[in-house]
Chains A and B, each alone.
Chain A
């Protein structure tokens, strides 16, 4: 039993880990269930939200070069985002968090990723084939049962011949029920009727240990369910299930010399039956300000199985990812999937209008700068003003009809149009407009073991629509034999009339070189899943002038190939992953030279599922080179010659030494060799050791030590002087959680001093009191002392009511 306990705790530990790194804004990141092909939620505990305007998770699967991004939802002093399931594949994900600050600056977590510092990794556990061999017929995960209705039934019909069914051990909440089991061929049955006196009400945890004929552990599986009274069961079985959560928070943040109160309330209401699911969400915060983009969030969702969804309010629709990928839209979105024909659409506001502010008025037009605009002289007493530019209200509309269910075939067409409302604010400049046309196709064969996908889109982008379409007179003066361009003005007028139905046509429209495919973005990929290999080959092309207002983070001016192979061995106990990517830029000859980005990734992950640590070893080599030479005095300043090697090792192990412990160790080293004109060589080393100890059911402790060391070496080639910037620190964390008063009161304390070049002492205190069955009151205090600088604190009170 011990081995299996270790095993199950190990998995649960793997699936919920908290990582802390140096950051002024994020205290730690909690990672949810990191299981293959399951959505993965990351929750960041924020030090303070005072200066944060938005947060994004940047993530990429193994072997890929490009980070994808998703916005995190800020709720009080936490922010959460979910990485889509199709990205969550072994062996690991790289990620970091982008923190956009209200002053316009950006920071990353961990600090310095934009300057080459290490990103973080999340080990992804693979699914075992043995999970399919041993079938738990009953109970199913999350099932609600009465004592009388409980049936434990296991089927070994699909199990290996090596399994000895009679040796199977069955535990319900640590109680050994194996002697009650009735074996009928390949079936094991325990009826709740026979074990009523051995089970109580509440959470039920079923653990099944399976052994082979030699008596060696073969596999372990678990299910969780609830045992309730007949009355509660009848309630739970009613047609409509209602779940609701109300939350209110009030907290004070004292940062340096200023103190700010934040108050927020949220309500999350769900109702569902077999067919329909309704959800309403509301988050109202005192941070909502007219002069900022919205902090409040609200939405209502109605969903009918897989065929219909309608969302109103703040929605995050996902279309083909090169066009619209999870961007927040305040409006409506939804889809109808009929199989043969489907339609998806979204409409709403992506940017809220924010009026600009006048700094200085001018009677005459001063020298040109981007924030000097013409203003209403009658209103302001002067014709020009230097202003803090406002933000136009921006609306976005997207629609995608598609044909085919997607199981074996789907063909889709997407149209996106987004435009700034130039009348929405007075003091701003350069309203913009964007139109994108795309198509995507998917073929799948052999139960999707062969999968071919392609998407392509072209964009039109107008950088300034303030003056509207070109007039006939303007065209006549610019084009023609006597104009700037020797093009027939009538042709230009025809083109304006045609394109003008889609987008404003004037001198600011792009691309200017469509024949060079400057505004084309395309991706094609072939996935093959055979012989325990998951192989993917893909090609991307993104012209330098491709823009979509629905996809703010797409890297443009790049093309190339990517190959990834994930090989599963020994019943998914070993994953070997290999990746190679070769990209290049300068597709439209807009740069001095073409840079080639070559990345090799290799990794081996071992999940022994026995009394031995899980191990992941990884290696990445990033080679960026544009072929220019330092000896070429004309172009030496444009030289790109950058080689980075990164090694990582992650271990996790659960063991019993007097009591149960969970431990993990990670170590990463990265070396960058920069041979550019202004080179910055960098060395990063970081290590984290974490030990969770479970002393009693009520008491657990955590000990963590983080070591980080970086060294940046800058060479001035003119003076031949080298500047070295070392940055070394150690953070210790010691914490405990204690439950008392029959688990109604949870107390938690954590002390984290940091030493070295990063000095900070953090103390976190937390108390959560379960006043009534569904009413909790939580008190949280965080104190940060930065020696010689300041002592900051955050004190908050939260009430939660669930029903």
Chain B
């Protein structure tokens, strides 16, 4: 059962983001915030959350402020931010929105993860730039590091894994924390959190977020050739 506080926090956050970035949508700038670099299987997107239609994402699909990306089962999307600040690897069954605000020559980025796991590899940000991840229970600020952020929409727990560098975060009840390389933060729906040394599962999941390998299986049938494309785990097993 998700607590009302979380629902309120999430709603407020989305409203706040909407207000913040609505101006961006209306601005004259037509530069995308991000671009799709790679697509495996079922990846769709829509230009804004109020759009009804989901379109198939392809390599070179441009994502503007407010754009939403969704991955299906055994699917993957690799997304690049257009200021060269980093790459996101959106794992299967994930939904995220990308927001951005251009100030002078800098781009402030905010990726809202509603569910799923997103691997990140972010270059060092200047003092004037922001790179944030937002989930229903936390806002994480990245200065230059790699790891992943996951949000389980069933228990509403957010996981922040940092491989290298440092990530600061604020939870839904205002608690603040820092995750250093080799550590994982788990943030509960009530805003409480605990830090622990990253487990083998975390490390494996991180490795999986880094893998973008696709294998193809071709089968000759009487009706022609059937081609099955699938994503592999680091160990080479089918996911």
Contact = CB atoms under 8 A, between A and B. Distances in A.
B236 A239 contact: yes
Contacts, number: 86
B59 A192 contact: yes
A339 B235 contact: no
Contact of B60 (A151, A239, A273, A305): A151
B82 A155 contact: yes
B180 A138 contact: no
B185 to A, nearest CB: 17
Interface in B129-161: none
Contacts of A197: none
Interface string A146-160: 001101010101100
A189 B164 contact: no
A158 B213 CA distance: 32
Interface in B54-97: 58-60, 62, 80, 82-84
A610 interface: no
B30 interface: yes
B186 interface: no
Task: Determine the interface band of chain B, counting residues with CB < 8 A from chain A.
Answer: 20 to 34
B35 A158 contact: no
A96 to B, nearest CB: 38
B216 interface: yes
A472 interface: no
Contacts of A187: 31-32, 35, 62, 82
A186 interface: yes
A153 B81 CA distance: 11
B235 to A, nearest CB: 7
B3 interface: no
A273 B215 CA distance: 18
Contact of A138 (B29, B80, B236): B80
A237 interface: yes
A600 to B, nearest CB: 37
A505 B164 CA distance: 48
A545 to B, nearest CB: 44
Given A157-B82, A238-B236, A239-B211, A185 B35 contact: no
Contacts of B84: 135, 137, 155, 157-158
Nearest to B210: A274
Nearest to A193: B59
B216 A184 contact: no
A234 B214 contact: yes
Among A185, A190, A339: residue with most chain B CB under 10 A: A185
Q: Is the interface of B mostly helix, strand, loop or mixed?
A: loop
Nearest to B62: A184
Interface in B30-62: 30-32, 35, 37-38, 58-60, 62
Contacts of B23: none
B226 to A, nearest CB: 16
A557 to B, nearest CB: 43
Contacts of B83: 135, 155, 157-158
A158 B105 CA distance: 5
A478 interface: no
Contact of B29 (A158, A185, A234): A185
A27 to B, nearest CB: 43
Interface in B200-229: 207, 210-216
B168 interface: no
Interface string A220-238: 0000000000100010011
A376 B181 CA distance: 62
Contact of B80 (A137, A185, A339): A137
Contacts of B113: none
B213 A238 contact: yes
Given A138-B80, A239-B234, A189 B213 contact: no
Nearest to A186: B31
Contacts of B59: 148-149, 151, 191-193
Contacts of B212: 237
A221 to B, nearest CB: 12
B235 A185 contact: no
Given A135-B83, A137-B82, A185-B30, A305 B38 contact: no
B228 to A, nearest CB: 13
Contacts of B102: 157
A237 B76 CA distance: 15
B35 A237 contact: no
A309 to B, nearest CB: 15
Contact of B32 (A184, A230, A238, A305): A184
Contacts of A237: 211-213
A234 B213 contact: yes
Nearest to B107: A157
B215 to A, nearest CB: 6
Contacts of A184: 30-32, 62
Contacts of B107: 157
Interface string A239-273: 10000000000000000000000000000000001
The 10 A-B residue pairs with the shortest CB-CB distance in the complex, in nearest-first order: A185-B31, A135-B84, A191-B60, A237-B213, A186-B31, A185-B30, A158-B105, A155-B82, A239-B234, A157-B83
Given A189-B60, A234-B215, 8 more contacts: A155-B84, A157-B84, A157-B107, A158-B83, A185-B30, A187-B62, A189-B62, A230-B216
6 contacts: A157-B82, A158-B84, A184-B31, A185-B30, A234-B213, A339-B181
Interface of A: 135, 137-138, 148-149, 151, 153, 155, 157-158, 182, 184-187, 189-193, 230, 234, 237-239, 273-275, 305-306, 339
Interface of B: 29-32, 35, 37-38, 58-60, 62, 80, 82-84, 102, 105, 107, 164, 180-181, 207, 210-216, 234-236
